[in-house]
Structure 1
Amino acid sequence: MKKLSYLLLVLAFSQVQAQKDFQGMAVYESKTQAPKFEGMRAGNRDITPEMQKTMEERMKKMLEKTFVLNFDKTASIYKEEEKLETPGQQGGGMRIMMNSFMGGGGTFYKDVKSKSYTVDKEFMGKEFLVVDSLPKLNWKMEQETKQIGGYNCFKATAVKEASKTDFRNFRPKNNDDKKEEAKKTSGDTKTNFEDNFEIPKEIIVTAWYTPEIPVNQGPENYWGLPGLILEVNDGKTTILCSKIILNAKDKVEIKPSKKGKVVSQKEYDETVIKKMEEFREMNRGRAGGPPPMMGR
């Protein structure tokens, strides 16, 4: 009887230790539908169809990224996988600017136990450390299921407020909006690049999660489902898991970054929005041309 009790105690301790040491890695491929540049051509005759096509292709490549999520039972770090640039590749200035607006280039740390996140960002040569509470999405559990990489996944949807500092949320204005805008600016035939786009107030998010990996984690700032989120779509951006490794021999240290000026998400957004407005005023009257950092 004592022997049995000892074995049960050892087994219980082993299970607790296994949970404590549990760690996984998930690789995600992120693709965002690149905006069209017809509006730029309409306001700038210098932009040829070939230039328009080149800009759209360049934008498409910049919007294709690979991220790695390392996670345990309560925390995770999400970071873009660094890629070597092709020699002579142009558009570096725009890439830096877009990384700032899209939250790229930093390490996103999530602690679902304390419901907080930390992400280091570099914007306009300054380093920031954004520390704030994780956004709480009211997930609606749907009936649909599908398989992703051999894992059974369940569908969930939610509505979230669109970030004004995330370039991926920019949507082309429809023709009616452009006509209304033209009435307001009648007499001024020049258009600004940003005048052709708008940001919606809300975005519908569709996520696919698997209870077979019972962690409250996911890519970017997504969390709150009873299983690892393997796919997220917001209508313009799709983040899809392409590889999963559980309990690898080599462990990764999961901890937040500490570099940069500590600010809240609201404070950081206000800084970015102010700079975007400065760009807007500086570029206004350039006959719809691209921002100066875009390159051609």
Structure 2
Amino acid sequence: MKSLLLKFSAIVLTLSLSSLSDTKQNEKKQSFQGKAYYLSKAKMNLGTWGARLSEGQKKEIEARLKNRLQKSYVLTFNKEESFFSEEDQLDAMSGATDSWGKNFAPGDQYKNVKTNSQIQNQEFYGKNFLVNDNLQPIEWVLGKETKQIGDYMCFKATASIPTNELTWFNFSWSKLRDSNPKETDTIQAESKAVEIAMTEVEAWYTPQIPVSHGPMEYWGLPGLILEVSAGETTMLCSKIVMNPEEKMEIKAPEKGTQVTKMEYQEIISKKMKEFRDNRSGRRRG
């Protein structure tokens, strides 16, 4: 009987120590927390159509599109998790929020580097989606170049990432055309399928903040990413607050229809095709 009690006591003690260890790990994870503030700037690309415009017309368009070309974000992070969201800003001309642009803008994003998971809330024409998928795989090439960003020494890293993987929440008519080729264009379509558009990415990270987080789809470096340039867009960290007095619980978005990134792209393409066909039908009528 005494032996049985000793075994039972040992089991209880082991479970208690395990529970205490888990509690301490969670407390440690939550106690190490930071907030990074980013400013995103994109160059205005008007293509061949823009060549016909005067400098005055270009400046007017740029002023109207300012809230789409310049955006502010906040990344809250601990050792394993991060939450990335855009700060609301008013339209430069009307004083209203950009409701049309929000249909194709990245929503609130939760990343967990330990579980390799990403959950992002996307709103598309009044309907909420919960895009649940793996983190974007990135094969970083670490360089030796350094530069100072604020109080932090940063190192350079580069990567080549499929463009469609970086812009899965967005839409373009070219994507729709490429996904619905005509039967007579079979050979050309097969040729396109082999040619995957890639985006060259340049990132600067600091080992002084030893977490694998970063803004948007970027992560996986041995330090917080403070600057990243991809295509026409550059995102730069303007302020970092480590271990703020007011702790924020980092939680994944929970409301919305669960889909994968690919399923979400299919939904957008289908709805935009319906939108286009309905407009064409009204014109013919």
| 2:100 aligned partner, one-letter code | M
**CA, structure 1 residues 235+225, in 2 after alignment: closer, same or farther (shift >3 Å)?**
same
SS of structure 2 residue aligned to 1:102: coil
Could you give the per-residue CA deviations for residues 19-59 of structure 1, whole angstroms, max 9, x where no partner exists?
551000000001111221652786xxxx9986554233312
Aligned CA-pair RMSD:
3.2
SS of structure 2 residue aligned to 1:137: coil
1:226 correspondence with 2:232: no
Distance 1:119 1:227 in 2: 23
Q: Which of 63, 66, 74 is the matching residue for 2:69?
A: 63
Distance 1:238 1:96 in 2: 23
Larger RCO: 1 or 2 (CA < 8 Å, sep 6+)? 1
**CA, structure 1 residues 127+18, in 2 after alignment: closer, same or farther (shift >3 Å)?**
closer
User: Residue 150 of structure 1: CA displacement?
Assistant: 1.5
1:201 correspondence with 2:211: no
Q: Structure 1 length as normaliser, TM-score?
A: 0.70
Output aligned runs, 1:1-296, within 5 Å. Answer: 18=28, 20-36=30-46, 38-39=48-49, 53-85=59-91, 88-89=94-95, 95-103=98-106, 106-163=107-164, 165=168, 201-279=197-275
SS of structure 2 residue aligned to 1:113: coil
User: Which stretch has the larger CA shift, 136-145 or 56-65?
Assistant: 56-65
Larger radius of gyration: 2
Contact 1:37-1:56 within 8 A present in 2 as well: no
SS of structure 2 residue aligned to 1:273: helix
Contact 2:104-2:169 within 8 A present in 1 as well: yes
**CA, structure 1 residues 168+32, in 2 after alignment: closer, same or farther (shift >3 Å)?**
farther
Query: Runs in 1 of length 4+ with deviation above 6 angstroms?
Result: 168-171
**CA, structure 1 residues 53+140, in 2 after alignment: closer, same or farther (shift >3 Å)?**
same
User: Residue 125 of structure 1: CA displacement?
Assistant: 1.5
Q: Structure 2 length as normaliser, TM-score?
A: 0.73
Q: Number of paired residues?
A: 236
Distance 2:173 2:151 in 1: 34
Distance 2:95 2:48 in 1: 24
Distance 1:168 1:154 in 2: 33
Unaligned stretches of 5+ residues in structure 2? 1-23, 175-195, 281-285
Identity of aligned residues (%): 42
Contact 1:30-1:66 within 8 A present in 2 as well: yes
Aligned residue number for residue 12 of structure 2 = none
Contact 2:37-2:237 within 8 A present in 1 as well: yes
User: Residue 275 of structure 1: CA displacement?
Assistant: 3.0
| 1:100 aligned partner, one-letter code | N
| 1:258 aligned partner, one-letter code | E
Contact 1:32-1:60 within 8 A present in 2 as well: no
Unaligned stretches of 5+ residues in structure 1? 1-14, 172-199, 285-296
User: Residue 120 of structure 1: CA displacement?
Assistant: 0.6
User: Which stretch has the larger CA shift, 67-76 or 49-58?
Assistant: 49-58
Contact 2:66-2:92 within 8 A present in 1 as well: no
